[in-house]
Amino acid sequence: MTNNKQLELNRRTVMKLGAGVAAVAGAGVNLAPNAFASEPAATKAASLGSRVSRAEGPLKVAGKARYAIEQKLENMAYGVTVQATRPAGRIVNIDASVAKALPGVIDVYTFQNTLKINKPTVYSKGGGATEEFTPIQDDLVRFNGMHIALVVAETFETATEAASLLKVDYEDGDAILDINDPEAKPMLIEPMGVAWGDAKVGLDNAEVKIDVTYTTAREYNVPMEPHATIASWENGKITVWEPSQWVGGARSVVAEFLGIDIENVRVISPYVGGGFGSKIGAHPHVGLACVASRQLNRPVKVSLTRPQTFTGLGGRPATRQTLSIGASKDGTITSIVHESWNETAIDEVHVEACNNVTKIMYATPNFSSRLNVVPVNTVQPGWKRGPGENPSAYALESAIDELAYALNMDPVTLRLANWADVDPSNNMPWTTRQLREAYAAGAEAIGWWNRNPAPRSMREGRELIGYGMAAGSYPMIRTPSEAKIVFHTSGQVEVLSAATDMGTGTYTILAQTAADYLGVPVETVTVRLGDTSLPRSALAGGSQQANNLTGALVKAAENARTALVRLAASDPKSPLQSLKLPELTFEKGTIRPTRRPAGGISIAELLKAVGKDRLEIEGNTFASGATEDMKNAADRSFAQLKGATEGSVSAHSWCAQFVEVGVDEDFGTIRVKRMVAAFDSGRIFNPKLAESQWISGMVMGLGQTLLEEGYVDQRDGRTVNANFADYAIPVNADIPEIQVISVGIPDMQATALGGKGVGEIGVVGVAPAIGNAVFHATGRRIRSLPITLEKLV
Amino acid sequence: MRTFDYVRVENTSAAISEAAKPETRFLAGGTTLLDLMKLNVERPAHLVDITRLPGLDTIEVSTDVIRIGALAKMSKVAAHADIMDAAPVLSESLWRAASAQLRNMASIGGNLMQRTRCTYFRDPGAYPNCNKRNPGSGCAALEGINRNHAVLGISDACIAIYPGDFAVSLVAFDGTVLVRGKVERRIPIDEFYLLPRQTPNLEHQLSPGEMIVGIEIPRVAALKRSHYLKVRDRASYEFAAASAAVGIEFEADGKTVRDVRIALGGVATKPWRLRAVEEALKGKPIDEATLRTAAATAVDGAKSSGHNAFKIELTPKVVARALMTVGDIA
Amino acid sequence: MSAARQLSLEINGTRRDLNLDIRTTLLDALREHVDLPGTKKGCDHGQCGACTVHVDGERVLSCLTLAAQVEGRPVTTIEGLQTADGVLHAVQTAFIEHDAFQCGYCTPGQIMSAVACIREGHTGSDDQIREYMSGNLCRCGAYPHIVAAVRDASSSLKEAAL
């Protein structure tokens, strides 16, 4: 069933994605348009770099932040999807008669009464979709848990009951259910391989070698807000309220689903209850909601149940990596040989770029890395925070720890001994790499040098104590974007962008940026986000958004200053009209004569004087001469995305993670006692929010390391723990005190304002740091995640 | 969820007479019942809301017995000062279960009626084969993902685990379930739960129309020196990988065992009393080696179904540690 | 057939007369029928705590409570926590101050849980706060800041009571 044509990916796109298009951190603010928030959140406080509290905080703590599917629409119908219970084969028949007979059921949609949903264009082919699969278009069963029907009813209760009443007959087909299935047919993703020197010879000649295999489990993003949507078709146009990391992408996908002009689609994402990479693409259930709404000519709300969020969209695929590292006895790495495999859907390709950290972290004269995908009958996997970098760092940084013990060398010392002065994969200079500072700060904070390095040498009562550390990186990607500033005669300043804020802090830092660059009080700034009717923005993914948007907003602010001064000098009704352009200065929100500081007028006064209600000024970071098509592409695809090596310099965020664990010597239960990490994310726009992002990543990393694993029944491919009781994510009691330290410096080669990525770097390196600490505590090296108690008992 | 009739009753007689209707369930905290109704595992036609029955939420600790009304909330019992003092194991097995919110909802009687967390049992849409739901249909768990299935008390018809904590304490300390139906009955807790054998659909001794109205626990010396140890991957809000309810009474020398109580949770198809281990320890002075030797027999007769083999390794260690804790040698 | 039932609920001090399918949970009644979507649905099975509200002043999960069960028992949701003139509760303020949330979706449940946790007296130590706040999942991993916020709010409420 595997379609090898799928492998004909656009090479350039693949390379870019290999460089790290990614999941996202945290959640965000939505200074929402009036349509969906009664009161836009306004920030109260200081300038860029200060610890301003989250702008939308007052709305969120009061329960007044209205998320996508919390819009109140008249005549709403409720849709519930039904998912397959077999992994492969065909659906022979779906008998919906009992369901349809239930009073209140409006209709049941299956492949037998097809509502057409067109295939969307996936990102690797220039579109905005993360999977090509569209439900109810044919009888083919691709994986257990795929949507096979939508039941629509007048109430949620009726729709839910009716969904349980469908009788589905299957004809089973052969399924591949596991990355290790001997029947599986791995496919090499040649363009994403990397090699230099002669890795085999380097390894053969090495004095010390380690040769290891590391695996990670299928993981799920499971943001607390389940994936859900409201689609409202009206007079040939559709409005979709969708929790989204990327309304521009969702808009293009919805237009494709429906086969309508994109101008007739509006996507609104007021607040987003977490995404972590799983809300970048509009998933297949969105298509179901859209076509049902068009069919019924009324709003339809489709919410996935929590179990359905495990198979209605994909999480991080299971991975396997082999890694051989050769070194001389003094600890100089002479060769790294790496190969990885990850699951992908049976007829689609998702590559987990497991060499993203491997290829840049250490200086080595010889290197080779190959990536493979293994098609299995699963939902198409997706991006989960730090995609690529996360498993890459897990294998590499665990193996480096193994090498350190093989060499009888301190792990930090070994890392410093193999410091890469330039990006070893391309010999480009780093923009900034404050990783030595990170090692020093993290080691100091955790008390690294006080540990007894011998395995199983430290204990407290019945608990074995271990310290572990690991490094990590995340590439700095960028996409040109635009922003708009609207000045009002009331003195209010609006900042507009289509971007969404999932808790990442976009609302807050944009208000800070506007206040800073316009010299106006931050409380006069209102930020509106999350709506395709607003200025174009790339996705909130890949840790790029803050830098994309602050860059665009600063351009808008600069344009505004120029425009305001020009207006003051030129408009006949301007009080400053007597002065020439060079004689005017813009300062602290006022336009004043350069030689007479006290003679200025505020922006609002100027607008009133010249008789304007409002003044709209745009700014952007598009290349000069960019066409509308290129600008739209930045908003709706990855075509304008610039990788980490744009400009022949290599730009990345860096981290050093340190942990202390306690392992019960009888039970094998691991409790992380302390976590410390030092981060180089360049200039920090708001330390309070950045720290939250880093901690957030570290907590997610702890869950990945100790708890999270999708259990797939090998008889039928069903994820049997698809819920929050059986797929355990960390609870409060799992999380110790966490200390985060910023060691970054402004990186003006990386971005306009000197910031680097924040959201994803926090999760990178956590798993190897904990795994290494478990080895230090117990003397046992566990090479598969998660490290649940049965692996140590 | 199938629809149902809902009736709220004001007294126990009315509740019992309502329950005479077929396909009836009593609704108390709802934390198991509504959950399973949403999963289409429980499909009652009639719900009898008993949460407002008067007089059933009392907690009494007298000199020789502890009496807890069936409608007392888990949280209230866990935090009851006299319970905490007289019977730490009861309090601990309650507050280490579920979450604060669920414990505020769940009643003691309902807690005893908690049903298994077997993922196959809980997924009727995908797995019609479940002997507990559909007698004779088979068991999907036997050869499925059975990491959290039982290793003790299993049969070839069912390996579903008993998931609770509190009943494990009751089994260790010879609790009695007080039942009211057409007649009043007292059922020893160890007999209350049934082994699956070939009829895993039959889980307990209650007949239709019977209602748990309370429990009694005799106050023995070992109850005062008792402990509930719950081992799990997640630090809280998770079912046990293995747990032990233990209590010990020493002779006057402070180290020789006069009485000892041990029961297991998280590893068996019902709360699992370890009488043989208890007998092996009685009359002996305790030290770590003695406890570990005795605890090794805790899993006599245990059988792995594959993913749950670790429970057989883990269980003796949990028993030993729990006893070391109450013996002050941990 | 779905049996509709006339219910009279008391939510945030206001009486709400509703005609609901008997199967309607308190959570769905709040979100879909009385336009109080501050209470969140994260799992619908008592596994995440996002739907935490107070019934009779105690924290419970509205997803495993039938709307019919709370007739005559006062319900408080996140929307009812602040004073009538809009002054935020000390816990709400502390959550903002400590940045104890990011996406904000678990936040109403965390806050309702925290208010009850303090009232119950389960804030004696950071470890006790962690244990008694473990019924509220947060995928953004704001736990350390949640602990700090609960600790601070607890002591400020104690001071205010003196």
Structural domain contains residue A311: yes
Which domains are delineated in chain B? Answer: 5-49 (3.30.43.10), 222-326 (3.30.390.50)
Kindly tell me the burial class for residue A150, based on how many C-beta atoms sit within 10 Å of its own C-beta (0-12, 13-18, 19 or more). Answer: buried
Assess whether A489 and A444 both reside in one domain: no
Burial A518-547 (b: 16+ CB within 10 A, else e): bbbbbebbbbbbbbbebbbbbbbbbbbbbb
What does the pLDDT average to over B290-299? 98
Q: Is the pLDDT of residue A505 over 70?
A: yes
CA distance B276 to B269: 18
pLDDT of residue A323: 98
pLDDT of residue C159: 86
- Residue A63 in contact with residue A37, Cβ under 8 Å? no
In total, the C-beta contacts within 8 angstroms joining chain A to chain C are 196
Whether A167 contacts chain B with CB within 8 A? no
Whether A665 contacts chain B with CB within 8 A? no
Assess whether A709 and A594 both reside in one domain: no
Assess whether A612 and A690 both reside in one domain: no
Confidence of residue A46 (pLDDT cuts 50, 70, 90): low
Structural domain contains residue A396: no
Assess whether A603 and A701 both reside in one domain: no
Give the end of a domain, one of A606, A636, A666: A636
Per CB-CB distance under 8 Å, the chain B contacts of A711 are 145, 147
Confidence of residue A7 (pLDDT cuts 50, 70, 90): very low
In the predicted model, what is the mean pLDDT of chain A? 94
Which partners does chain A have (≥3 C-beta pairs < 8 Å)?
Answer: B, C
CA distance A738 to A248: 36
* A274:C41 CB<8 A: no
Which partners does chain B have (≥3 C-beta pairs < 8 Å)?
Answer: A, C
pLDDT of residue A282: 98
Total residue count of chain A as it appears in this document: 793
Confidence of residue A22 (pLDDT cuts 50, 70, 90): very low
pLDDT of residue A9: 36
Local structure of B193: helix, strand or coil: strand
* Distances, alpha carbon B300 to alpha carbons A472, B244, B295, B305, in Å: 48, 16, 10, 15
Among A713, A730, A793, whose Cβ lies nearest the Cβ of B144? A713
What does the pLDDT average to over A89-99? 98
Neighbours of A441 (CB within 10 A): 21
Local structure of A419: helix, strand or coil: strand
What does the pLDDT average to over B12-16? 95
What does the pLDDT average to over A660-669? 98
Give the end of a domain, one of A636, A655, A673: A636
The model's pLDDT over A226-237, given as tens digits with 9 standing for 90+, comes to 999 999 999 999
pLDDT of residue A270: 85
The model's pLDDT over B162-175, given as tens digits with 9 standing for 90+, comes to 999 999 999 999 99
Q: Is the pLDDT of residue A8 over 70?
A: no
Whole-number percent of chain B with pLDDT over 90 = 99
Domain containing A766 — which CATH number?
Answer: 3.30.365.10
Confidence of residue A178 (pLDDT cuts 50, 70, 90): very high
In total, the C-beta contacts within 8 angstroms joining chain B to chain C are 84
In the predicted model, what is the mean pLDDT of chain B? 97
* Distances, alpha carbon A538 to alpha carbons A541, A599, A632, A634, in Å: 8, 42, 10, 6
Which residue in A129, A445, A159 sits closest to A314, CA to CA? Answer: A129
Numbers of helices and strands, H then E, in chain A: 16, 30
Domain containing A192 — which CATH number?
Answer: 3.90.1170.50
Partners of A591 in beta bridges = A586, A601
Per CB-CB distance under 8 Å, the chain C contacts of B99 are 49, 134-136
What does the pLDDT average to over A499-519? 96
Assess whether A782 and A679 both reside in one domain: yes
- Residue C52 in contact with residue C112, Cβ under 8 Å? yes
Residues 697-756 of A with CB under 8 A from B: 706-707, 711-713, 715-716, 718, 720-721, 725-726, 728, 730-734
What does the pLDDT average to over A8-17? 35
Among B143, B234, B314, whose Cβ lies nearest the Cβ of A793? B314
CA distance A391 to A287: 31
- Residue B146 in contact with residue B159, Cβ under 8 Å? yes
Assess whether A241 and A298 both reside in one domain: yes
* C103:A725 CB<8 A: no
Low-confidence ranges of chain C (pLDDT < 70): 1-3
CA distance A693 to B124: 40
Local structure of B110: helix, strand or coil: helix
A760 is catalytic: yes
Distant-in-sequence, close-in-space partners of A774: CB < 8 Å, separation ≥ 6: A466, A468, A661, A663, A670, A780, A782, A787, A792
The model's pLDDT over B42-93, given as tens digits with 9 standing for 90+, comes to 999 999 999 999 999 999 999 999 999 999 999 999 999 999 999 999 999 9
CA distance C103 to C142: 10
Q: Is the pLDDT of residue A29 over 50?
A: no
pLDDT of residue C4: 87
Count of domains observed in chain A: 3
Whether C105 contacts chain A with CB within 8 A? yes
Residue A621, φ and ψ in degrees, nearest 5: -115, 20
* C69:B79 CB<8 A: no
Assess whether A279 and A143 both reside in one domain: yes
* B237:C134 CB<8 A: yes
The model's pLDDT over A119-155, given as tens digits with 9 standing for 90+, comes to 999 999 999 999 999 999 999 999 999 999 999 999 9
Structural domain contains residue A2: no
In total, the C-beta contacts within 8 angstroms joining chain A to chain B are 88
| Residue among B4, B117, B234 with most chain A CBs within 10 A, to mutate | B234
Per CB-CB distance under 8 Å, the chain A contacts of B231 are 664, 667, 669, 789
Q: Is the pLDDT of residue A19 over 50?
A: no
pLDDT of residue C160: 86
Which residue in A353, A382, A348, A381 sits closest to A276, CA to CA? Answer: A382
Per CB-CB distance under 8 Å, the chain B contacts of A712 are 145
Give the end of a domain, one of A636, A663, A690: A636
The model's pLDDT over B199-210, given as tens digits with 9 standing for 90+, comes to 999 999 999 999
The model's pLDDT over A408-421, given as tens digits with 9 standing for 90+, comes to 999 999 999 999 99
Distant-in-sequence, close-in-space partners of C3: CB < 8 Å, separation ≥ 6: B3, B4, B5, B6, C21, C22
Among A26, A56, A104, whose Cβ lies nearest the Cβ of C140? A26
Token pair, residue A493, equals: 């300043």
Among C21, C23, C64, whose Cβ lies nearest the Cβ of B31? C64
Structural domain contains residue A502: yes
Local structure of A321: helix, strand or coil: strand
* A692:C102 CB<8 A: yes
- Residue A188 in contact with residue A757, Cβ under 8 Å? no
Assess whether A376 and A280 both reside in one domain: yes
Confidence of residue A114 (pLDDT cuts 50, 70, 90): confident
Whole-number percent of chain A with pLDDT over 90 = 93
Whether A598 contacts chain B with CB within 8 A? no
What does the pLDDT average to over A765-776? 98
Amino acid at A689: L
Assess whether A170 and A286 both reside in one domain: yes
CA distance A242 to A260: 18
Structural domain contains residue A398: no
CA angle, A113 then A118 then A120, to 5°: 145
Question: Which run of H or E residues covers position B325?
Answer: helix B309-326
Which residue in B41, B165, B150, B50 sits closest to B99, CA to CA? Answer: B165
Among A54, A697, A733, whose Cβ lies nearest the Cβ of C130? A733
Which residue in A478, A473, A391, A470 sits closest to A424, CA to CA? Answer: A473
Per CB-CB distance under 8 Å, the chain A contacts of C137 are 224, 724, 729, 731
Q: Is the pLDDT of residue A4 over 80?
A: no
Per CB-CB distance under 8 Å, the chain B contacts of C120 are 79, 100
Assess whether A454 and A558 both reside in one domain: no
Token pair, residue C158, equals: 């104690």
Task: Calculate how close chain A gets to B64, using CA atoms only, in Å.
Answer: 36
Q: Is the pLDDT of residue B226 over 70?
A: yes
Confidence of residue A40 (pLDDT cuts 50, 70, 90): very low
pLDDT of residue A21: 28
Residue C79, φ and ψ in degrees, nearest 5: -70, -20
pLDDT of residue C161: 81
Catalytic residue among A397, A628, A760, A790: A760
Radius of gyration of chain B (CA): 20
CA distance A413 to A439: 10
Structural domain contains residue A759: yes
Domain that holds residue A731: 405-476+645-793
CA distance A276 to A309: 14
Token pair, residue A81, equals: 């999807």
Q: Which residue has the tokens 């956590």?
A: A766
Assess whether A370 and A235 both reside in one domain: yes
What does the pLDDT average to over B140-153? 98
Structural domain contains residue A18: no
CA distance A537 to A188: 34
Assess whether A361 and A469 both reside in one domain: no
Structural domain contains residue A266: yes
Token pair, residue A380, equals: 């198409």
CA angle, A505 then A509 then A514, to 5°: 150
Distant-in-sequence, close-in-space partners of A569: CB < 8 Å, separation ≥ 6: A576, A577, A579, A580, A581, A583, A584
Partners of B59 in beta bridges = B68
Confidence of residue B14 (pLDDT cuts 50, 70, 90): very high
CA angle, A177 then A183 then A185, to 5°: 90
